[in-house]
Structure 1
């Protein structure tokens, strides 16, 4: 069985974000073009579809870690605060973006709320498993070393 852990993360995230975008599982709000993704950032993201990429990345992190809450997930997307010549301080990412995406993924049926935080639902697991199978098939056509995963 092919797991998400065997697939290159950039290929998986791009594939899943494309699926989320074409199936319109996430409603893109009007503030997406203007919002920064955290205190440590100076400008908004350059990609037009960054919200789908972030949602796919969150699904992958939930698959690997099992369950995560809003604070822990936002700290995964944090960075260094630029304080000039002083030492840096770590800052977490935007919790409102994380909260919004969790709500959208819950309404799409890909994430469920548990006692310990959010975790993947069976539909979310199957989405990521099917995506990793497709990517491994594509990689096996280019490189025969990946055929052992099929």
Structure 2
């Protein structure tokens, strides 16, 4: 009998990596020209070392919207934020750049994975997005059980 597998049932790192590879392979995500020079936050000194970082950020946001819908860009700026190093002064928390997050959410909306919640605000997962993410989670689960 077939079991129902959701995103919650698989390892987050494996899911994000698999979904990022899927997004890159399909070619439906439009990558901006600034992706190779953009930093993910103002407190970072360098851009990400992984050239496919935008796919991983999109996959991470899809998973986060799946698990807890209704959050907006400001919430995700806090989620991806870190401590800013202030030299000899104490570290202080700083939020991530909202432009990257907003762009990733727009790409997910173009893919019909997420949509804006008109009642409460923020982003929620669509039925198509839930089906696609659960399908990828099922593939990961079956591959892991086969081994």
Task: Tell me if both proteins adopt one fold, taking TM over 0.5 as the criterion.
Answer: yes
Q: TM-score range by the shorter chain?
A: over 0.9
Q: Residue 23 of structure 2 aligns with which residue?
A: 20
- Determine helix, strand or coil for the equivalent of 2:93: strand
Residue 81 of structure 2 contacts residue 96 of structure 2 at CA under 8 Å; is this kept in 1?
Answer: yes
Q: Deviations over 1:17-45 (max 9, x none)?
A: 11111112210001000011002211100
Instruction: Tell me the CA shift for residue 84 of structure 1.
Output: 0.9
Give the structure 2 partner of residue 131 of structure 1: 136
Q: Which residue of 2 aligns with 1:44?
A: 47
Q: Normalized against structure 1, the TM-score is what? A: 0.91
Which 5+ residue runs of structure 1 have no aligned equivalent? 143-150
Other-structure match for 1:108: 111
> Is the contact made by 1:40 and 1:78 (CA closer than 8 Å) also made in structure 2?
no
CA distance in 2 between counterparts of 1:40 and 1:67 reads: 27
| Aligned ranges 1:1-150 → 2 under 5 Å | 1-114=4-117, 115-142=120-147
Instruction: Judge conservation of contact 2:69–2:122 (CA < 8 Å) in 1.
Output: no
Q: When the two structures are aligned, how many residues end up with a matched partner? A: 142
SS in 1 for 2:124: strand
Distance 2:41 2:14 in 1: 25
Provide the TM-score with structure 2 as the length reference.
0.92
When you count helix as a share of all residues, which structure comes out higher?
1
